[in-house]
Chains A and B, each alone.
Chain A
Amino acid sequence: MADAHADADADANSSAITIFIQDRKTSKRRNLIVKVKNTENIEKLTKNVEKLTQIPSDELEVVFCGKKLAKSTIMRDLSLTPATQIMLLRSPNGAKQVNDVKNGINLATDSSSILGSFYMWCKKCDKVKRGKLRVYCQKCTSTAVLVKAEPQNWTDVLKSKRIPVTCENCQSEGVFAEFKFKCLKCNDLGAALTHIRGNWQLAECCICDAKEPIVMDLGCNHITCLACFKKYLLSTLETFAFINHPPYGFTLGCPFPGCNRVVQDVHHFHLMGHSEYDEYQRKATEKLILINDEGVTCPNVKCGQSFFWAPYDDDGRSQCPDCFYSFCRKCTERECICHRQDDLTKSTIEATTRKCPKCSVSTERNGGCAHIHCTSCGMDWCFKCVAEWKEECQWDHWFH
């Protein structure tokens, strides 16, 4: 494998690819390794195969990424790597294949469906990269598949069992396509970033006015450049102002005023960087645990693991599954101080704070009116009543 890579690097214009021939006339299969040049087209490939196999080139159909290719397609447009496999189908009765674009797709004019303007998060390159879409059989993971319907949108590609295929490898009935994204540069698999797109109209970033070639768009056409979106994410992370938005989890909204679109896939948060992404995940877990009655966070300063306590921990104590620190869930101390009177921290917190009536988080009021908006659970409550904020509170509890 490593050698193959080296070869490809040495001669950037040509590469060896694996060809899988499904001969439906003789019901035979065979594999070939063929050297192709980037500038050659599919017709030339079938001619080369004819030389090696004596199968007439006009009886061969070339299938790649689940689709038949037009004979005029240039190899370069396929962004092949030594690991790529291309399938050639020979028609059952030896009929001539119609050699025109109508029956296949020409990547020069219809590149969006395979090469696409996809962007993905490549872990290996550690950045947003252009990606290529690849199609596999969901059952046998072979690439020898032909899609029965074109994917129409992101859902078709991201959700399973949407696009039916015929698989020439396992030839099973009722199988579906599995789509994967690979980095155009390093060929590693990665997560598709559906909100990132090319800035075709060269529109301005709604934050800094820059006209960048790649932008974020949450589906509302309010575009933000990646640099601004990164800043936006980092400033949201600072106060953990992400909102819990099932089914997407803790996420954030479009930076355009009044727009209520949200980031639907947290993979986009990789833009922040490694440690920040980890911090996001840790805090999101913590928050999720906090808003759940059976959730608890380990008070051991060296741990901080969040977990759900088991129902049999009904004596009010729990043990952290990670560091085995055992503590009282109420006062979070190893030696329970719930009934002690002389604990200064506890008495100070009790004296200076009131608990949110919804999530019980201790809340200090350091100024302003009695209207409290809980940053933990989002509840609006009255600091005087310690209950939901009402119109009477608006009038009567103003200065309390």
Chain B
Amino acid sequence: MSNIALNRLQRECKEVVTNSEISETGIMIEILNENLTEIKGHIRGPPDTPYAGGMFDLDIKIPEQYPFSPPNVKFCTKIWHPNVSSQTGVICLDILKDQWAASLTLRTVLLSIQALMCTPEPKDPQDAVVAKQYMDKPAVFKATAEFWTVKFAKGHLDVNKEYQTRVDKLKDMGVREEEAISVLSCNNWDINRATVYIFS
């Protein structure tokens, strides 16, 4: 990694760590290796969203060309969001692609992702199934996103009992919990369709 990149990263890490941002803004980073190529990001689910109360972890990989190429950022906590793949955690955000600018920092990236959690952009989705649900059945979307937050992001809300019952039914048929949640969510919690999807 070049000197510019290393100096930049050291400063950026300090910027996020020393600000004790987690209490103020709900973002934090954790350094995983000495040469700063792998970093863990944490975003607290913003209040008044289905993600409230959850803690979301992100994998940040710093490319050789940083800061002239964007960092590679994806969710490692599973999240139900139109602009994030429910399978892989890949994020669709313009500043992580063609709108990246060399003067953006890890802090601005995490804050932008946090803003994306508050206001999804279903017209430019990463996960079309989620986006469709967000547009057509907003109530189901909200309940599903909350369910995912409780299950995967240590959210402290009460788990949706009805949804949990359906997950348990699939589990009884030998389906892994994670797959059961995923398939049910994609099928608007219709257990018959979910069963057909899994066993056909």
Contacts and interface: CB of A to CB of B under 8 A. Distances in A.
B103 interface: yes
B139 interface: no
B68 A373 contact: no
Lowest 7 CB-CB distances: which A-B pairs, in order? A235-B68, A398-B128, A257-B101, A206-B103, A255-B102, A207-B102, A235-B65
Nearest to A205: B103
Contacts of A45: none
A209 B65 contact: no
Interface string A173-211: 000000000000000000000000000000000111100
A391 B124 CA distance: 9
A132 to B, nearest CB: 32
Interface in A250-278: 255-259
A232 interface: yes
17 contacts: A206-B103, A207-B67, A208-B4, A222-B103, A227-B4, A231-B2, A231-B4, A235-B65, A256-B101, A256-B103, A258-B101, A259-B101, A373-B98, A394-B123, A394-B124, A395-B128, A399-B128
B132 interface: yes
A32 interface: no
Contacts of B125: 394, 398
Contacts, number: 53
Contacts of A395: 128, 132
Interface in A2-37: none
A257 B98 CA distance: 11
Contact of A394 (B7, B68, B99, B128): B128
Contacts of A398: 125, 128
B72 to A, nearest CB: 13
Nearest to B99: A257
Nearest to B7: A208
B104 interface: yes
Size category of the A interface is 20 to 34
A238 interface: yes
B152 to A, nearest CB: 23
Interface residues of B, number: 23
B88 to A, nearest CB: 10
B8 A207 contact: yes
Interface string A366-400: 00010001000000000000000001001100110
A38 interface: no
A186 B68 CA distance: 34
Contacts of A259: 101
Contact of A231 (B7, B68, B95, B126): B68
Nearest to B101: A257
B188 interface: no
A259 B102 CA distance: 12
Given A235-B68, A399-B128, 20 more contacts: A206-B102, A207-B4, A207-B8, A207-B67, A207-B102, A207-B103, A208-B4, A209-B11, A231-B2, A232-B68, A232-B102, A238-B65, A255-B102, A256-B103, A257-B99, A257-B103, A369-B126, A394-B123, A394-B128, A398-B125
A206 B68 CA distance: 12
A369 B82 CA distance: 14
B49 to A, nearest CB: 23
Contacts of B99: 257
Contacts of A399: 128
